[in-house]
């Protein structure tokens, strides 16, 4: 919006407050709220905040930071009772007024600028499919002498034996039995529709929603593809809306990749393509109707998959999902239509504009600004160095013999292994000053100290079952 358009928007909607949001290192929104009278001050000068209170950012002796609102992101917040203007912000240094090097949104903008500078393309489109669970309750605790979690869902298959008011009515999808089921098994259609309508109210274009494979309320809402930065913005809105609509309905939603043992986890299959001057660059006469450039992009994704996982699968829980047999491919191969391949080429349409690839390993615990940028930088490196991905693997990879499977490389099996891969393979990310050693080192240090070690050092209940009587 132009300043005049923004003034009219504020007046027409009776806005009283500003909710200024920025994204932290890990991909979570932070916000401060101001009277609407401070709008133009904020647009011109930015709003101050304490950077030392944000994980992985500033030391206390250099903590003053500014967030600069992006007026193109203005929308009335759908959840606050008082009419409030929501503005997404970039983080800048208050002294130099340069973008802060660890600000994810600024990094994503640098990635787009680098893409344009290569001359290969001018636009990268991303279409993530973020899955989530809607539970009726969640309890968990971690103490020196005990730890536990307990989730429950009225539609969970394990509750067919539960005593319920008026009697148990069944119709609860079994483990792995939830894909696209209808009611009464799918109890969440109206809830997902409310989520969709709220997303539409903030400008997100939605294509479909449905129940996903797992029992206990696993769901998916699909957004129409959009440009890198805008789609990353929308992923944060998506997660914010899903969680808040669930909460308003007396439920709780999570994007945790693997909250249930033995059932499908939640992925974020990410469709992507490059365009130039309005022309799709991934359509051609090579395998599956792809162009040679698209195959090189795939080659880059496969070569740098380990480093990508450090951003696209950034939690210890991510690697509870990245195991064979759950449509979460660990094997680094590509194929048309094949959901057991790490890279799938969808074949729903023959239109050149629909030609894209789908990277199936990412999950929704990621920071989308960093993850999308890392994927695109890997693909561009593949194009620059003409990295061919080899022959496609048009088989069910999970049914391969051990001898055949030994020839197929795999993604890292743990967060530590992914961080090791990122440490060793970072050069492709640093082209055009998109990523930096400072950011990568800070990411690795934070993830090791606060997440990988935190989980590694603690006994878990399964170990008592296995080893108490050793």
Query: 363 near 313, Cβ under 8 Å?
Result: yes
Q: Which of 212, 233, 381, 416 is catalytic?
A: 212
Taken in order 411, 270, 280, 384, the sign of the CA dihedral is: negative
Q: Which of 102, 110, 192, 269 is catalytic?
A: 269
Interatomic CA distance for residues 108 and 115, integer angstroms = 11
d(CA 206, CA 102): 31
Instruction: State residue 269's pLDDT score.
Output: 96
- Please report, rounded to a whole number, the percentage of residues in the chain having pLDDT higher than 90: 88
Instruction: Please give the pLDDT value at position 339.
Output: 76
Is residue 431 domain-shared with residue 376, that is, in the same domain? Answer: yes
Distances from the Cα of 114 to the Cαs of 107, 316, 387, 431, 435, in angstroms? 10, 31, 19, 8, 11
- Answer whether residue 2 is part of any domain: no
pLDDT of residue 407: 84
Query: Dihedral of CA 320/325/329/330: which sign?
Result: positive
- Inter-residue contact 132 to 266 (CB < 8 Å): yes
Residue numbers of the domain that contains 78: 16-100
Residue 222: per-residue pLDDT: 98
Instruction: Answer yes or no: is 245 within a domain.
Output: yes
132 in the same domain as 85: no
CATH code of the domain containing 94: 3.10.20.70
pLDDT number for residue 136: 97
* Low-confidence winner among 3-12, 60-69, 248-257 (lowest mean pLDDT): 60-69
Active site residue 360: yes
The token pair at 67 is 């967030």
Note the pLDDT of residue 327: 62
Assess whether 387 and 431 both reside in one domain: yes
Note whether residue 11 is domain-resident: no
> Which of 187, 189, 162, 163 is closest to 173 using CA atoms?
187
Active-site option among 77, 358, 381, 451: 358
CB 339 within 8 A of CB 347: no
pLDDT above 80 (res 397): no
Checking if the pLDDT of 247 tops 70, the result is: yes
Residues 137 and 193 in one domain: yes
- Looking at residue 337, its pLDDT comes to 73
DSSP β-bridge partners for residue 457? none
Q: What does the pLDDT look like over 211-231, one tens digit per residue? A: 999 999 999 999 999 999 999
| 143 catalytic per annotation | no
Beta strand 357-359 pairing with 268-276: antiparallel
The pLDDT assigned to 255 comes to 98
pLDDT at 326: 57
Question: Which residue is catalytic, options 220, 233, 381, 416?
Answer: 220
Task: Tell me, yes or no, whether 290 and 415 share the same domain.
Answer: yes
Cα 297 to the center of its chain, rounded Å: 20
Span 150-164, mean pLDDT? 95
Is 269 one of the annotated active-site residues of the chain?
yes
Of 40, 65, 100, which closes a domain? 100
Same domain, 59 and 161: no
User: If we measure between CA atoms, which residue out of 122, 126, 158, 152 comes closest to residue 140?
Assistant: 152
Residue 112 lies in a domain: no
Task: Give SS3 for 219.
Answer: strand
Residue 368 counted as domain residue: yes
Same-domain status, 127 and 95? no
Q: How many domains does the chain have?
A: 2
Q: What is the mean pLDDT of the chain?
A: 95
95 and 174: one domain? no
Q: Which of 360, 363, 381, 416 is catalytic?
A: 360
pLDDT digits (tens, 9 = 90+) for 19-61: 999 999 999 999 999 999 999 999 999 999 998 999 889 877 7
Q: Which of 339, 384, 425, 448 is catalytic?
A: 339
Q: What is the pLDDT of residue 364?
A: 98
Q: Is residue 3 part of a domain?
A: no
Assess whether 130 and 92 both reside in one domain: no
Mean pLDDT for 245-268 is 96
Closest CA to 371 of 259, 257, 265, 228: 228
131 is catalytic: yes
Angle, vertex CA 144, rays to CA 139 and CA 149, nearest 5 = 20
Is residue 362 a contact partner of residue 371, using CB atoms and an 8 Å limit? yes
Residue 243 — very low, low, confident or very high, per pLDDT cuts 50/70/90? very high
Catalytic residue among 90, 103, 129, 263: 129
pLDDT interval class at 382 (50, 70, 90)? very high
Q: Read off the pLDDT band of 325 (50, 70, 90).
A: low
CA–CA dist 369, 26 (Å, integer): 10
Instruction: Assess whether 286 and 195 both reside in one domain.
Output: yes
Interval 412-424 mean pLDDT: 97
- φ, ψ for residue 58, nearest 5 deg: -90, 155
Distance between CA atoms of 426 and 374, rounded to whole angstroms? 10
Distance CA 174, CA 216 (A): 9
Q: Which of 131, 155, 233, 363 does the annotation list as catalytic? A: 131
Mutual orientation of helices 292-303 and 368-384 as an angle, nearest 10°? 120
The per-residue pLDDT for 195 is 98
Q: Kindly tell me if the per-residue pLDDT of 124 is higher than 60.
A: yes
User: Cα separation of 442 and 64, whole Å?
Assistant: 19
77 plus 203 within the same structural domain: no
Mean pLDDT, residues 196-222 taken together: 97
Are the beta carbons of 215 and 262 closer than 8 angstroms? no
The residue-averaged pLDDT of 68-77 equals 96
**Considering 100, 134, 156, which residue would you say is the last residue of a domain?**
100
Residues forming a β-bridge with 335: 344
Contact 307, 378 (CB under 8 A): yes
Residue 459, domain member (yes or no) = yes
**CB half-sphere exposure, 171, CA atoms < 13 A:** 9
Q: What is the CATH number of the domain that holds 189?
A: 3.30.590.10
Average pLDDT over residues 332-360: 90
50 is catalytic: yes
């Amino acid at each position: 919006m132009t300043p005049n358009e923004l003034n009219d928007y504020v007046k027409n909607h009776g806005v009283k407050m500003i909710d200024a949001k920025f994204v932290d290192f890990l991909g979570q929104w932070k916000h401060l709220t101001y009277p609407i009278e401070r709008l133009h001050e904020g647009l011109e000068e930015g709003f101050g905040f304490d950077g030392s209170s944000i994980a992985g950012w500033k030391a206390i002796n250099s903590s003053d930071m500014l967030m600069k609102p992006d007026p193109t992101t203005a929308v009335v917040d759908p959840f606050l009772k008082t009419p409030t203007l929501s503005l997404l912000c970039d983080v800048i240094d208050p002294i130099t007024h340069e973008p802060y090097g660890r600000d994810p949104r600024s990094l994503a903008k640098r990635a787009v600028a680098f893409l344009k500078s290569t001359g290969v393309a001018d636009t990268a489109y991303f279409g993530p499919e973020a899955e989530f669970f809607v539970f009726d309750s969640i309890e968990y605790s971690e103490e020196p002498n005990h730890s536990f979690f307990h989730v429950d869902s009225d539609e969970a298959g394990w509750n067919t034996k539960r005593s319920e008011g008026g009697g148990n009515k069944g119709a609860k999808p079994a483990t792995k039995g939830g894909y696209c089921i209808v009611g009464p098994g799918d109890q969440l259609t109206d809830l997902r529709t409310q989520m969709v309508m709220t997303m539409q109210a903030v400008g997100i274009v939605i294509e479909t929603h449905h129940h996903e494979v797992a029992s206990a309320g696993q769901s998916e809402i699909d957004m129409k593809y959009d440009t890198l930065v805008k789609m990353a913005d929308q992923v944060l809105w998506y997660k914010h809306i899903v969680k808040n609509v669930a909460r308003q309905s007396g439920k709780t939603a999570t994007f945790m990749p693997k909250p249930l043992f033995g059932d499908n986890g939640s992925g974020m299959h990410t469709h992507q393509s490059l365009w130039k001057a309005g022309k799709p660059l991934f359509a051609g006469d090579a395998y599956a109707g792809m162009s040679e450039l698209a195959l090189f992009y795939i080659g880059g994704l496969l070569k740098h998959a380990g480093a990508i996982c450090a951003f696209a699968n950034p939690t210890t829980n991510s690697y509870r999902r990245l195991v064979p047999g759950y449509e979460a491919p660990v094997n680094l191969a590509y194929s048309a239509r094949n959901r057991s391949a790490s890279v799938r080429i969808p074949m729903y349409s023959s239109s050149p504009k629909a030609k894209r690839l789908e990277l199936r390993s990412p999950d929704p615990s990621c920071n989308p600004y960093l993850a999308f940028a890392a994927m695109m930088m890997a693909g561009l490196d593949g194009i620059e160095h003409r990295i061919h991905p080899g022959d496609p693997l048009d088989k069910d990879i999970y049914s391969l013999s051990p001898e055949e499977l030994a020839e197929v490389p795999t993604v890292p099996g743990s967060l530590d292994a992914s961080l090791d891969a990122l440490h060793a393979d970072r050069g492709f990310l640093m082209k055009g000053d998109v990523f930096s050693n400072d950011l990568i080192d800070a990411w690795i240090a934070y993830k090791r100290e606060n997440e990988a070690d935190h989980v590694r050092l603690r006994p878990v209940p399964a170990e008592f079952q296995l080893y108490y009587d050793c």
